[in-house]
Chain A
């Protein structure tokens, strides 16, 4: 009440005074500067999230004007389709295998990059490329590399004798029928995993590298003086000290691997016979291409428990970082 009166009585002077008071009042200024960002995030992340929950409980489609509340019916329907079961299984295989490979390779690569050498910045740039380039375009590069007729990989397999002969003798390769990398179910899954490892390796490597370079040199020196060999050093000093940061790398990797649909959309569209379908791509094909928004929303929400788990781990790390 009083505020309103103030403004009404002596406008300019008072307003200037209040403005300058506002600009100095830390609490209120703080809230004012933070509010727009919070509001934006609430409207464009929070609101859609609850809409997704709501949609999944209705029968909404792309064209529909009215929607009916159907409870958990969609979830129930979805769970019982074979495609969903397959997609769920694929999502886990895809995420776990690619993350395991990423972690092992990133660890090796990071150890190799800790050393200083000439041209390191250029090597780092080349290693970083897959992460920075738009993944939809990187995947097209792979589409060409793995093409059914003109694949360079197959050309090497068929034309380079020292590659061809051992594989042929082992019975892995029939030079007259080279592998269809994206056309055979197991190979398609392996190809998708390879492209994903390719894409996520750089981020994991640079995160681990940051962890490795932050270990004080004294610790390494002390271990060397005490006679620790390479493996002992690796498992008893380096890995434990980098562990928290490794968790961060794994966490991001999992989130990207579990929720990504771009690689699959470009390379296989979930085929052949849904053998590379994952939850994210299935949600897209059902919800947008198929027009069944409710079912698409229901499928995508199966990713949510996973994200809660990720957030939980993340919070614990953040808290530990604060304490130290």
Chain B
């Protein structure tokens, strides 16, 4: 009995230690951003100071510089602008397509669904060079509209796939009952299926928005003017100029742009995973 409890305690300690080590590895860079953004520059740039302590009192100066003297606020707005439009386009294309694949196209639909998902695996690395030419031909270079046009090419495939799974899980009886009540097939979809699919649609919204925030290669390729960048490109390219690093503001920018969206994402995690695992898990 006593040996059992000692063992449990040891096991618990090992379990805790293991998790603590992993959390330290994954979360340390974000913790470090948080600490750095409140430190005086003279504190940061003194190699003899203990970097784990505040050797001088904390300061909000870096945040003031970040929002007052850099284009960071503009980049956040740009990201939001592109994000909202891309989410709208994604919903407009992926919701009907997902429903169609789940209910209306039968056997062919299953194969088409997989084909669509596979296009998500074609990386920007292969497409950015030809797309830069396409964007130039359309006269969209150096415009946020180029991103609005191109980003749905990676949000639509994954979201169509996610929504297909989501619609498949809705009992068919609901639509059949609506159709007996006189709705057309499309009416049943619009008036009955969509309202009960809010959770699925919200998942797609969050997922698309995160993808837009993370995207780097296309924005770096298509955009050249500093004030038209998105956050993910503006911060690494324009807050680091030459050899001068404004570490305080830089870390503040990284923290502010990454942590809130991560918290939101966490709530929808299970749905993304079931999408990623292609039904290999049931």
A interface vs B, CB < 8 Å?
20, 23-27, 29-31, 33-34, 36-38, 40-41, 44-49, 51-52, 55, 60, 62, 105, 108-109, 112-113, 115, 117, 121, 123-130, 132-142, 144-145, 149-150, 152, 155, 159, 198, 201-203, 206-207, 210-211, 214, 244-245, 248, 252, 255, 259-262, 265-266, 279-280, 283-284, 287-288, 293, 296-297, 300-301, 303-304, 307, 310-311, 314-315, 317-318, 320-322
Q: For A145, list chain B residues within 8 Å (CB).
A: 28-29, 32
Q: B residues within 8 A CB of A296?
A: 129
Query: A33-B99, A144-B250, A301-B126 known; A132 and B25 CB under 8 Å?
Result: no
Contacts of A52 in B (CB 8 A): 126-127, 129-130
Given contacts A144-B247, A207-B273, contact A130 B26 (CB under 8 A): yes
* Contact between B278 and A248, CB atoms less than 8 A apart: yes
In the bound assembly, the distance between CA atoms of A44 and B148 in angstroms comes to 12
Most buried by A among B32, B129, B235, B251: B129
Per DSSP, chain A at the interface is helix
A-B contact pairs, 23 of them (CB 8 A): A29-B186, A33-B100, A34-B101, A44-B152, A48-B130, A62-B132, A112-B18, A133-B259, A134-B213, A134-B232, A137-B236, A140-B240, A142-B29, A155-B50, A207-B276, A262-B216, A265-B216, A265-B220, A284-B128, A311-B121, A315-B118, A317-B278, A318-B279
B104 within 8 A of A: yes
Q: How far is the CB of B147 from chain A (nearest CB, A)?
A: 12
Q: Are B232 and A34 in contact (CB under 8 A)?
A: no
Docked complex Cα distance between A62 and B133 (Å)? 8
A245-B125 in contact given A130-B26, A202-B26, A288-B132 (Cβ < 8 Å): no
> In the assembled complex, which residues on chain B have CB atoms less than 8 Å from the CB atom of A113?
19
Cα A255 to Cα B213 with chains together (Å): 20
Chain B interfacial residues counted at CB < 8 A = 101
Q: B199 interface residue, CB < 8 Å from A?
A: no
B265 sits at the interface (CB 8 A): yes
Q: A137 to B126, Cβ gap below 8 A?
A: no
Q: Does B262 contact A (CB under 8 A)?
A: yes
Report Cα–Cα, A38/B93, bound state, in Å. Answer: 9
Tell me if B204 is interfacial: C-beta within 8 Å of chain A. no
B104 near A26 (CB under 8 angstroms)? yes
At the interface with chain A, which of B1-9, B55-63, B107-115?
Answer: B107-115
- Nearest-CB residue, chain A, relative to B282: A214
Further pairs besides A155-B51, A284-B128: 4, Cβ < 8 Å:
A36-B93, A52-B126, A129-B259, A307-B123
